[in-house]
Amino acid sequence: MEKFTKLTGIAAPMPLVNIDTDMIIPKQFLKTIKRSGLGVNLFDEMRYDREGREIPDFVLNKPQYREAQILVAGDNFGCGSSREHAPWALLDFGIRAVISTSFADIFFNNCFKNGILPIVLPQDAVEVLMKDAEKGSNARMTVDLEAQSVTSSDGQVFHFEVDAFKKHCLLNGLDDIGLTMEKVTAIDAFEKKAATLRPWA
Amino acid sequence: MTAPRTLYDKIWDDHVVDRSEDGTCLLYIDRHLVHEVTSPQAFEGLRMSGRKVRAPEKTIAVPDHNVPTTAGRDKHIDNEESRIQVEALDKNANDFGINYYPVNDIRQGIVHIVGPEQGWTLPGMTVVCGDSHTATHGAFGALAHGIGTSEVEHVLATQTLIQKKSKNMKVEITGKLRPGVTAKDITLSVIGATGTAGGTGYVIEYCGEAIRDLSMEGRMTVCNMAIEGGARAGLIAPDEKTFEYVKGRPHAPKGAAWEAALAYWKTLYTDEGAHFDKVVTIKGEDIAPVVTWGTSPEDVLPITGSVPAPEDFTGGKVEAARRSLDYMGLTPGMKLTDIKIDAVFIGSCTNGRIEDLRAAAAILKGKKIAPGVRGMVVPGSGLVRAQAEEEGLAQIFIDAGFEWRLAGCSMCLAMNPDQLAPGERCASTSNRNFEGRQGFKGRTHLMSPAMAAAAAVTGHLTDVREMMTETV
Ligand code: SF4
C-alpha cells in the first residue's frame, strides 16, 4: 500500500449528501477481477452521458478540478455497498483524501486499506473547506496526516482525529495481513480454546 | 461480578484474540461467506504472497451477484466478464478447498440466504462477507457485518479481522403490528426515523414485542437493512424460534454438540441494566405499510402519504431531495398511490425467502398483473424455489403473469441481465433505491412483498390493506 504522509493538492467540492458507493462506481464496473483501471469510471453515471460523453457540469469534468486529489463532500459519504472498488476507483483517479462530516463505516475502513485518508470534520469546518474548494485550482489545500491537520488555501488550520493504529499503518504503508501474521501464536491459542468452549463453531 | 453486558458485548468478548493498548482488537471470525464479485482480488492477493486459506472449513462460497436467473446458466453465461468472475470463483473454491455451492447446485442462492439455510450461521458467531448486507445474519444473534476486499483477504489468510468495538444502540419496537404491516415496514420505518447515518458507529440490537413476534424470516429482513441505517451490524437475541429454525440444518450441531451449543446460546441476551449509548423506541401500532419515494432508503413514507417538497427538509437534504425528485420524476404533493409503475421485482436477500413469496402469493392468488406491467419473482435460493413450487406458489405467480426465475441477486443490483430500462419505475422488495441501482436511470420504490404484489395488480403504488379486506 502506498504511504500517506502529507499532500498539497486541488480539492473538488461535492456538497451532495449521501453520496453512495453506487454513485462512486456503478455496478457494471464491478465485474473486473483486477483492482486497477477503475479511475475512468469513477462517478460514471454522474460524469458521462449515455453515449459516454463527459457532462461538462460535473465537478471532476471541469478544467480546474481534473487534477483534484482531495474531495470535500456532503454528509455520509460512501454509504451503501462494501465494494472496495469505490476506493480503488478514487485512488486510480488520483484522489488521496476525502473530507466530510461523516462516512459510512465499511467505506471508511476500505479507504485506509488503500492509502486514502478519509477525514471527519465538524459541519462548520467542512463548510469553510467546501467554500475553499469552490475557488478552483488556484486554491490548494494541505492535508498533513502526521500533524492531523487540514490547511485551507488561505491558511486556516483544522485539526482532525484519526485512529492511532490506522494512522500508523497509513503513514508507513503497512500491510495489515503481515502485521496480523505476526500474531499467529495468539490465533492458534484462541482456536485451541474455542475448540473446547464452542466446538460446534 | 462482571458489569451487565449487552448481547453485542458478549459476542465481542468471546471473539477477541488480541487487544492493543489503543483498543484495536483482533477479532476471530467463525464464518466467512464469499461471493464472486468482491473476492477475486483477495484470492489473487493470497496467490501473490503464497498464502493459504487458514480455515477453509469455515469458509463458504457461492456465486450470486452476477449469475443470470434464466435457464441454461450452468452451461453458459453470455456476458463475458460475468462468466470470468463465476469461473474465477469456481477455480478459487477448488484451489483453496473451501465449501462451495456452484451455480448448478440446488443449494445455490444469495449468500445471505444460503448461510442460514444450510446452518452455517449460528447464534453467537462472528460472520463476515464481502457484502454489506451480511447484517442479515444478525437475526440469529450472530455478530455479522460486511467487509471490503482487503479485509476478505485478511480473513482468508488469518481467520481474523482488525476491529475497534462499536457503540451499542437499542432499537425497540413495542407492542403489536397492525394488519398488513410487515418486517420490511419495520426496518424501513426505523431508517426513516434515524436516517441513513443514524446508526453509524453503532451495532444495533433490535428488541421489543413486535420483533419477538417476527418469524426468523422477518427478523432477517429487519437485520438485513441495519446497514441501510449506517450501523455496522444488527442483532436480535436468539430465542426458541431461532433454535427451532436452526435445528436439523445440514451444518447445525447435532446430538451432544447440539445440547452444548444450546446451553451456550441461551446465555446470549442483553443483561438487565446493560448500557446502550443510543436508544430509539417506536410503537409497533404506529408503523404503517411504507414505501420509499426518493433515492435514499431514508426517504420513507406511509403509503397513505404524498410526495414531499424539497422545502420540507433542511440542510444538505434540500438539494438531495430536489435531485431525488427530479431523478424519480415525481412532483411534490402528488399522492403516493397515484404513482404508476412499469415493473415489479420480488426477491433479494431482504425479501427472497419462502415467507416473502407466500405473502406476495397470498395477494396475487386468482389475480392478474396490471396490463403493461412486467413482474419478476426471483427466489433467494434453489431450495426456496423448490419449496415454493411444491407449495403451489410458483403457479400462482405464473398464473398472475410473473416471470418465475432461478435464484440470485438479479434486479436487486442489476449486475446480470435483469435490469430496468431508463425511466422505468419498479416496485421492489430489495433494499436499495440508489440512482441506477436497478438499471441506468431506473426508478426504485422499496416496499414489502405484499405491497409489491398489490402494486403489481393495480399498476400503481397501492395500500395493501385495501386489498386485504377485499380478499377476506
Ligand atoms: S440480493 Fe442485493 S443486497 Fe442482497 S447480496 Fe444480492 S445484491 Fe446484495
**Cα–Cα distance measured from residue B111 to residue B413, given in angstroms and rounded to the nearest whole number:** 14
* Whether pLDDT at B470 is above 60: no
State which H helix or E strand residue A85 sits in: helix A85-93
Phi, psi of A48 (to 5 degrees): -125, 155
Q: Measured between CA atoms, how close is B401 to chain A, in angstroms?
A: 29
**Cα–Cα distance measured from residue A11 to residue A129, given in angstroms and rounded to the nearest whole number:** 9
Count of domains observed in chain A: 1
Q: Which residues contact B57 (CB under 8 A, 6 or more apart)?
A: B99
Q: Measured between CA atoms, how close is A142 to chain B, in angstroms?
A: 25
Q: Is residue A191 part of a domain?
A: no
Residue B46: half-sphere exposure toward Cβ, Cα within 13 Å: 21
CB < 8 Å to A57, chain B: none
| pLDDT reported for residue B471 | 46
**Cα–Cα distance measured from residue A5 to residue A169, given in angstroms and rounded to the nearest whole number:** 11
CB < 8 Å to B49, chain A: 177
User: Angle A85-93/A105-112 helices, nearest 10 degrees?
Assistant: 50
Query: What is this structure's pTM?
Result: 0.94
pLDDT higher for B264 or B416?
B264
User: Angle B354-364/B449-458 helices, nearest 10 degrees?
Assistant: 30
Phi, psi of B61 (to 5 degrees): -120, 145
Lookup: cell for B81: 466478464
Residue B122 burial (C-beta neighbours within 10 Å; 0-12, 13-18, 19+): buried
Which letter does DSSP use for residue B214 in this model? S
**Cα–Cα distance measured from residue B404 to residue A62, given in angstroms and rounded to the nearest whole number:** 46
Q: So what's the ipTM on this one?
A: 0.91
Nearest to B62 by CA among B130, B125, B146: B130
- What residues are paired with B279 via a beta bridge? B170
Nearest to B411 by CA among B429, B396, B398, B397: B429
Q: Which residues in B48-130 belong to E strands, given as ranges? A: 59-61, 99-100, 126-129
Q: Which residues contact B226 (CB under 8 A, 6 or more apart)?
A: B135, B138, B187, B199, B204, B233, B234
Cβ–Cβ of A180/B160 closer than 8 Å?
Answer: yes
Work out the average pLDDT over B123-145: 97
Of B41, B200, B261, the CB nearest to A35: B41
Lookup: cell for A196: 473446547
State which H helix or E strand residue B393 sits in: helix B393-400
Q: Which residues contact B186 (CB under 8 A, 6 or more apart)?
A: B173, B177, B210, B211, B214, B222, B282, B284, B287
| pLDDT reported for residue A158 | 98
Lookup: cell for B158: 488469518
| pLDDT reported for residue B472 | 42
Length of chain A in residues, anyone?
A: 201
Percent of chain A residues topping a pLDDT of 70: 100
Residue of A nearest to B297 (CA): A80
Q: Is residue A193 part of a domain?
A: no
DSSP states along B32-58: EEE-TTTSHHHHHHHHHHT---S-GGG
Residue B222 burial (C-beta neighbours within 10 Å; 0-12, 13-18, 19+): buried
Q: Is residue A184 part of a domain?
A: no
Nearest to A104 by CA among B441, B463, B200: B200
Of A45, A76, A110, the CB nearest to B435: A45
| HEC per residue, B259-311 | HHHHHHHCCCCCCCCCCCCEEEEEEHHHCCCEEECCCCCCCEEECCCECCCHH
Give the pLDDT confidence of B202-244 residue by residue, as tens digits: 999 999 999 999 999 999 999 999 999 999 999 999 999 999 9
Cβ–Cβ of B197/A104 closer than 8 Å?
Answer: yes
Cell 426504485 found at:
B444
Lookup: cell for A146: 502526521
Protein residue whose Cα sits closest to atom 6 of ligand 1: B409
Lookup: cell for B247: 435445528
| pLDDT reported for residue B339 | 98
* Whether pLDDT at B201 is above 80: yes
Give the pLDDT confidence of B354-397 residue by residue, as tens digits: 999 999 999 999 999 999 999 999 999 999 999 999 999 999 99
Q: Maximum Cα–Cα distance for chain A, whole Å? A: 63
Give the pLDDT confidence of A118-151 residue by residue, as tens digits: 999 999 999 999 999 999 888 899 999 999 999 9
Please say whether the beta carbons of B161 and B259 come within 8 A. Answer: no
Give the pLDDT confidence of B91-132 residue by residue, as tens digits: 999 999 999 999 999 999 999 999 999 999 999 999 999 999
**Cα–Cα distance measured from residue B97 to residue B59, given in angstroms and rounded to the nearest whole number:** 9
Q: pLDDT category, B1, cuts 50, 70, 90?
A: low
**Cα–Cα distance measured from residue B186 to residue B173, given in angstroms and rounded to the nearest whole number:** 8
Q: Report helix, strand and coil shares of chain A as percent, to nearest 5.
A: 40, 20, 45
Secondary structure of residue B119 in the 3-state scheme: coil
Percent of chain B residues topping a pLDDT of 70: 99
Domain extent at residue A13? 6-172
Phi, psi of A158 (to 5 degrees): -120, 130
Q: Which amino acid is at B100?
A: Y
User: Angle B40-49/B149-158 helices, nearest 10 degrees?
Assistant: 50
**Cα–Cα distance measured from residue B88 to residue B92, given in angstroms and rounded to the nearest whole number:** 6
Q: Is residue A183 part of a domain?
A: no
Q: Which residues in B138-239 belong to E strands, given as ranges? A: 143-146, 160-163, 167-174, 202-207, 233-235
Give the pLDDT confidence of A26-66 residue by residue, as tens digits: 999 999 999 899 999 999 999 999 899 999 999 999 999 99
**Cα–Cα distance measured from residue B15 to residue B25, given in angstroms and rounded to the nearest whole number:** 9
Give the pLDDT confidence of B317-347 residue by residue, as tens digits: 999 999 999 999 999 999 999 999 999 999 9
Q: Which residues contact B335 (CB under 8 A, 6 or more apart)?
A: B305, B306, B307
Domain residue limits, chain B: 21-163, 291-471
DSSP states along B328-353: HT--TT-BGGG-B-SEEEE-HHHH-S
Of B85, B227, B316, the CB nearest to A75: B316
- What residues are paired with A158 via a beta bridge? A150
CB < 8 Å to B319, chain A: 15-17
Give the pLDDT confidence of B40-97 residue by residue, as tens digits: 999 999 999 999 999 999 999 999 999 999 999 988 899 999 999 999 999 999 999 9
| pLDDT reported for residue B469 | 62
Pick the CATH number of B291-471 from 3.30.2010.10, 3.30.499.10, 2.40.50.140, 3.40.190.10: 3.30.499.10
* Whether pLDDT at A175 is above 90: no
Nearest to B222 by CA among B249, B186, B250: B186
Cβ–Cβ of A177/B413 closer than 8 Å?
Answer: no
Length of chain B in residues, anyone?
A: 472
Give the pLDDT confidence of B260-281 residue by residue, as tens digits: 999 999 999 999 999 999 999 9
Give the pLDDT confidence of B279-317 residue by residue, as tens digits: 999 999 999 999 999 999 999 999 999 999 999 999 889
CATH (residue range B21-163): 3.30.499.10
CB < 8 Å to A200, chain B: 122, 252-253, 257-258, 260-261
Instruction: Return the CATH number at A55.
Output: 3.20.19.10
Q: Which residues contact B149 (CB under 8 A, 6 or more apart)?
A: A35, A84, A110, B38, B39, B41, B42, B130
B223 is in an annotated binding site: no
Nearest to A167 by CA among A1, A6, A4: A4
Q: pLDDT category, B468, cuts 50, 70, 90?
A: confident
The atom number, within ligand 1, closest to the CA of B432 reads 3
